[in-house]
Structure 1
Amino acid sequence: MNATTSAPNKGKVLVVDDDRLVLATVTHGLSQAGYEVIDADNGDDAILLARQHKPDLALLDIRMEGKTGFDVAAYLREYCQIPFMFLSAFSDEATINQVKALGAVTYLVKPLDIQQIVPAVEAAFAKRPAVQDAVAVIAAAGPLVAAPVEAANPLQDTVAMAVGIVMHRHSLGRIHALERLKAQAHQDGRSLESLCQRLLEAQEVLSGLGPLH
């Protein structure tokens, strides 16, 4: 169990994964992006840390020994009111249905690299306090776009993800990042949604780090 931070502090994130390599990589990447990160490699420690530190967001692996990510998510929802997102290699229908039923912010499908995870976290913070209104599935095999499911608004998700990328890349706040995108869209003579879609696709193509497995 560790707490890591790198100034400026954009918020507090709990990262839970029983794969120590994944845990270290995600923790380091989010810390470098300016988040205070608390990490745990099992569900019991995750719940304890959540109660102690009250993070703004939790990033949870699903399949772990002992308490699963679903168990931790249910606890965070019922007793802590902490929003959460999942990072898992499993994307079968039963898993997706449970993710949706729990009310996750986003579902990230491995393999992913930190250049994809950080914008997703940025987007989750940008969408507060309505982060639990929808769940998105982001797969590394396709463009970095939040796929709409049920109540999700695909245009809002696309813009939120693009805002997250600009926030991370240029160290901007949410409002300034959005204004920068609006100005660029106006300059290019295209809609904001079109510009954001193009940015997300370019981010996927240009992503140069090795994937997390």
Structure 2
Amino acid sequence: MNSSSNAKRLVLLVDDDALLLEFLSEVLGHAGYETTTAASAAEAIRKVEAREPDMALLDITMPGMSGLELARHLHENTAVPFMFLSASGDAESARQAASSGAVGFVVKPVDAARLMAAFESGLARADEIRQLRRTEANLNAALAAGRETSLAVGLLMGRFQADRNTAFEVLRDHARSSRRKINEVADQLLAAEEVLNSLHAGFASRLKSK
């Protein structure tokens, strides 16, 4: 499965088993991913500092700093998503992987088909997390940029029973499609709502007088 869309996606492979690293590199390379390898956590940290990968595949048990400790470092100091390789498929290993923030878990011995299924599932999950973070960052920036946007998002939430992210995304997409700033669209929306409220009051007054 050689995909040009994967060509620029870098995967860091971390394991003290040189033969396994070679196998993982071959399988992922055949699938169109760029790979780089590290035989220890210390080497992995140096490589991440030089260039952050799109995914890290970490052996849980390694001499020196373990894969779990490396995962903790990545989680606290980088935005690199990671998966674990483990010789154990027991519940405790899976629990440790999940609690550390891993997006996937592969049990050794690894075959190509099982590796790619788990890897691409983990990568998809990592992409979802990245998108959520981008949306949240965009939302926070927009809300901080102007009171109008904040009020308009709240208005859309109430009018359409939507959550905050959805309301913001609809407002943002409309602004983009009309090639206008989001604050301008928000201001127009609030002005329209004010007019509608005034008209509603006028209708209510007329109906009451009849």
Give the alignment's Cα RMSD to 1 decimal: 1.9
Residue in structure 1 matched with residue 127 of structure 2 by the alignment: 129
Q: Deviations over 1:6-63 (max 9, x none)?
A: 8730511100111111110001110111001010111100111112110010001110
**Which region of structure 1 is more displaced relative to structure 2, 30-39 or 107-116?**
107-116
Matched, 1:42 2:40: yes
3-state secondary structure, aligned to 2:106: strand
Match in the other structure for 1:92: 90
TM-score (norm 1): 0.55
Are the counterparts in 1 of residues 11 and 35 from structure 2 also a CA contact under 8 Å? yes
User: How many angstroms apart in 2 are the aligned matches of 1:106 and 1:122?
Assistant: 9
**AA partner of residue 110 (structure 2):** L
Instruction: Kindly state the Cα deviation for residue 119 of structure 1 after the two structures are TM-superposed.
Output: 2.5
Q: Secondary structure at the match of 2:80?
A: coil
- Describe the SS at the equivalent of 2:127: coil
Q: How many residues align?
A: 127
Q: Give the whole-Å Cα distance in 2 for the aligned partners of 1:131 and 1:112.
A: 26
2:27 maps to 1:29: yes
Instruction: Report Cα offsets for 1:107-159 as digits up to 9, x if no partner.
Output: 11112212221232222233343359xxxxxxxxxxxxxxxxxxxxxxxxxxx
**Which structure dedicates a bigger proportion of its chain to helix?**
2
The SS at the match of 1:130 is helix
The 1:7/1:95 distance shift into structure 2, 3 A limit, reads closer
Query: 1:17 and 2:20 equivalent?
Result: no
Whether the 8 Å CA contact 2:11–2:56 is kept in 1: the answer is yes
1:186 matched residue in structure 2: none
List structure 1 runs of 4+ shifted beyond 6 angstroms: none
Structure 2 residue aligned with 1:104: 102
Q: Deviations over 1:77-98 (max 9, x none)?
A: 1101211000111233432222
List alignment gaps of at least 5 residues for structure 1: 1-5, 133-213
Could you tell me which amino acid in structure 2 is paired with residue 19 of structure 1?
D
The structure having more radius of gyration, on CA atoms, is: 2
For the Cα contact (< 8 Å) 1:17–1:61, is it kept in 2? yes
Contact 2:104-2:121 at 8 Å conserved across structures: no
Asked whether the equivalents of residues 124 and 131 of structure 1 are also in contact (C-alpha less than 8 Å), the reply is no
In structure 1, what is the equivalent of residue 68 of structure 2?
70
CA distance in 1 between partners of 2:44 and 2:126 (Å): 22
- Summarize the Cα distance change of 1:89–1:35 in structure 2 as closer, same or farther, 3 Å threshold: same
- Measure, in 2, the Cα distance between the counterparts of 1:128 and 1:106: 9
One-letter identity of the residue aligned with 2:75: R
